[in-house]
Amino acid sequence: MKTIQRIGIAGAGAMGQGIAQVFAQCGYEVILYDVNSTQLSKAKENIQSILQSAVSKGKMREDEMHAAMARISFVPNVDGLKGDAIIEAIVEQLEPKRELFQLLAAQNAPDTLLVSNTSSIPITRIAKGIPHPGRIAGLHFFNPAPVMKLVEVIAAADTTPETINTLVALVRNIQKTPVVCKDSPGFIVNRVARHYYVESLKLLEERVADHETIDALMESAGFKLGPFKLMDLVGNDINFAVTSSLYESFHYEPRFRPSRLQQQKVDAGHLGRKSGKGFYNYNSPS
């Protein structure tokens, strides 16, 4: 198996910074890249704040916090994104991911693992035309990455067993639980969970109940978060993009149809917690 010491991460949004934190805390050298320098600065502040909170709660020593932060390099230029494995966590669209993989393949060694944190796009589509496709796979973390234990390890059509074995070992080394699956739109979790969102949105569109009632009922049934609270946490833009991707990948099967109501939320900028307003208002005192 390939030895992994340096991890590159493309995209310093919520997922990218969470993944960076996880690897840095587990002793890996991390390069976090984002084209937006403001987002990079925000990611650094967020990671520092989370680690400082862990110190304050007695869950981490201060020297461990400083060591973890020292392992992360924040780079605004894609040329600096070189490592033993690169994890892509950018916008949930096929072409930007493919363009990034072409750049990464050109500036990294032929055995550098190129993996995507995509929620729904088949890895085989991302890997098409990229040199040495055997080293390309999916590594799907869940939000928030430092907390959620499950990581889907996805084998594309040409992914080698060695690549999968290396990634499984890597996931275990960061104290996560790997689940290996074959390439398919949405993989396991997002394919199953999609209808938790889609059917809830249909109920809201049909005015069967309001979103607070639907959330309360689902939480009373044992779900940790109701669907609308969860969509606000994930981000309505991301959730809508994933649903749209599955809808297209399954040749527009009606059961995956995106919600017009959620599209309206996205168009209005009501993205959820990160924008201060989604299905719920997070700017209010309550």
Domain for residue 64, yes or no?
yes
Of the listed 190, 200, 244, 259, which one is catalytic?
Answer: 190
> Domain range holding 15?
6-182
Of the listed 108, 116, 117, 119, which one is catalytic?
Answer: 119
Indicate whether 217 and 99 sit together in one domain. Answer: no
Q: Which helix (H) or strand (E) holds 85?
A: strand 85-88
Q: Is residue 140 among the annotated active site residues?
A: yes
DSSP code, position 148: -
DSSP code, position 133: G
Q: Is residue 119 among the annotated active site residues?
A: yes
Q: Is residue 281 among the annotated active site residues?
A: no
Q: What is the domain-level CATH number for residue 107?
A: 3.40.50.720
Domain for residue 93, yes or no?
yes
Decide if pLDDT at 175 tops 70.
Answer: yes
pTM above the 0.95 mark? no
Indicate whether 50 and 153 sit together in one domain. Answer: yes
Q: Is residue 132 among the annotated active site residues?
A: no
Indicate whether 151 and 263 sit together in one domain. Answer: no
Indicate whether 98 and 158 sit together in one domain. Answer: yes
What are the tokens at 214?
């639907």
Report residue 179: phi and psi, to 5°: -125, 115
Tell me, what's the pLDDT at 2?
84
CA distance 45 to 2: 32
278, 236 Cβ separation under 8 angstroms: yes
Of the listed 92, 117, 120, 152, which one is catalytic?
Answer: 152
Indicate whether 178 and 196 sit together in one domain. Answer: no
Indicate whether 65 and 205 sit together in one domain. Answer: no
Q: Which helix (H) or strand (E) holds 183?
A: none
145 vs 284, which has greater pLDDT? 145
CA distance 172 to 178: 7
Q: What is the domain-level CATH number for residue 224?
A: 1.10.1040.50
Decide if pLDDT at 284 tops 90.
Answer: no
Indicate whether 176 and 253 sit together in one domain. Answer: no
Q: What is the DSSP string of 50-68?
A: HHHHHHHTTSS-HHHHHHH
17, 47 Cβ separation under 8 angstroms: yes
pLDDT digits (tens, 9 = 90+) for 2-29: 899 999 999 999 999 999 999 999 999 9
Indicate whether 160 and 48 sit together in one domain. Answer: yes
Tell me, what's the pLDDT at 143?
87
In whole angstroms, how large is the CA radius of gyration of the chain?
19
Domain for residue 100, yes or no?
yes
Strand order in the sheet with 6-10: 72-75, 29-33, 6-10, 85-88, 113-116, 136-140, 150-155, 177-182
Indicate whether 116 and 256 sit together in one domain. Answer: no
Indicate whether 222 and 101 sit together in one domain. Answer: no
